[in-house]
A and B are shown apart, each in its own frame.
Chain A
Amino acid sequence: MKADHTLDCIGLYCPMPIVKTAHKIKELSPGEVLEVISDDTGIKSDMPAWAKKTGNEYLGLEEDEGEIRVYVKKPAG
């Protein structure tokens, strides 16, 4: 999946990937996509939950050998 920004959270555990995502998303322009790379499997549930609560759009995930890439889109306008 194509992303405009990437956040590397490899080696970090809950809640740090979510805390860093919340900080990072503020830097994005509306409509841009953020890719978060994590090896904490909790991210699979946590990111959609965070997106739902904060009004961002969860686009899905890609997983490869323990490396999980999740995608969230900052709402346009």
Chain B
Amino acid sequence: MTIIVFSGELDKALAAFNLANTGASMGMDVTMFFTFWGLGVVKKGSLSRGNKGFMQWMMNIMKRGGAEHLKLSQMNMLGAGTGIMKSLMKKYKMPSISESMALAKEQGVHFVACTTSMALMGLEKGDFIDDIDEFAGAATYLSLASEGKVNLFI
């Protein structure tokens, strides 16, 4: 099973991890391919410039990323909606995005970060959490997807 995580919003990332965790629990080999805005899900969330060009640095400040900084795709309301959603999730004992990610790693879900998107955004390996297993491109994804029975784009 493969999931392309293209989006960098909290709700979409939660959906992706719920499916990844369920797939792993069903005995499937699961790969999550983080690309474009989806890279934000697996970024550390640092604001530092590093080797980024000026525009890339500005983009990084506006789209900081980091699992705990993700916002809802709808009803964010300057962060109020996201806060309400997080407190509702806690009330209903649903795992947070960070907990879902840790669970995915524990279950052996394979994390791949897209090197083309990284170059575009001026991101380096050090900008990502240690859980990334591989830095690769479309051929790696398609090779896995061609063997998967369930391939999703979120």
Q: Which A residues contact B (CB, under 8 angstroms)?
A: 11-16, 18-19, 21-23, 50, 53-54
Contact of A15 among B25, B92, B93 (CB under 8 A): B25
The CA of A12 and the CA of B91, in the complex, are separated in Å by 11
Contact of B22 among A11, A12, A18, A23 (CB under 8 A): A18
Contact with A along B16-27 (1 / 0, CB 8 A): 001101101111
The CA of A23 and the CA of B24, in the complex, are separated in Å by 11
Q: Which of B69-102 contact A (CB under 8 A)?
A: 92-95
Q: Is the CB of B94 within 8 A of A50?
A: no
Q: Which of B19-44 contact A (CB under 8 A)?
A: 19, 21-22, 24-27
Q: Is the CB of A50 within 8 A of B25?
A: yes
A55 (CB) vs chain B CBs: closest residue: B27
Q: Which B residues contact A (CB, under 8 angstroms)?
A: 18-19, 21-22, 24-27, 92-95, 103, 107
Q: With contacts A15-B22, A22-B26, A53-B26 known, what are 4 further pairs, Cβ within 8 A? A: A13-B93, A15-B25, A16-B94, A50-B25
Q: Give every chain A residue within 8 A of B94 (Cβ-Cβ).
A: 13, 16
Q: Give every chain A residue within 8 A of B103 (Cβ-Cβ).
A: 19
The CA of A54 and the CA of B95, in the complex, are separated in Å by 24
Q: Give every chain B residue within 8 A of A23 (Cβ-Cβ).
A: 25
The CA of A21 and the CA of B21, in the complex, are separated in Å by 12
B123 to chain A, nearest CB (A): 30
Write 23 A-B pairs (CB below 8 A) sorted by A numbering.
A11-B92, A11-B93, A12-B93, A13-B93, A13-B94, A14-B18, A14-B22, A15-B22, A16-B94, A18-B22, A18-B25, A18-B26, A19-B22, A19-B24, A19-B103, A19-B107, A22-B24, A22-B26, A22-B27, A23-B25, A50-B25, A50-B26, A54-B26
A42 to chain B, nearest CB (A): 11
A17 (CB) vs chain B CBs: closest residue: B25
Q: Which of A14, A15, A18, A22 has the most CB of B within 10 A?
A: A15
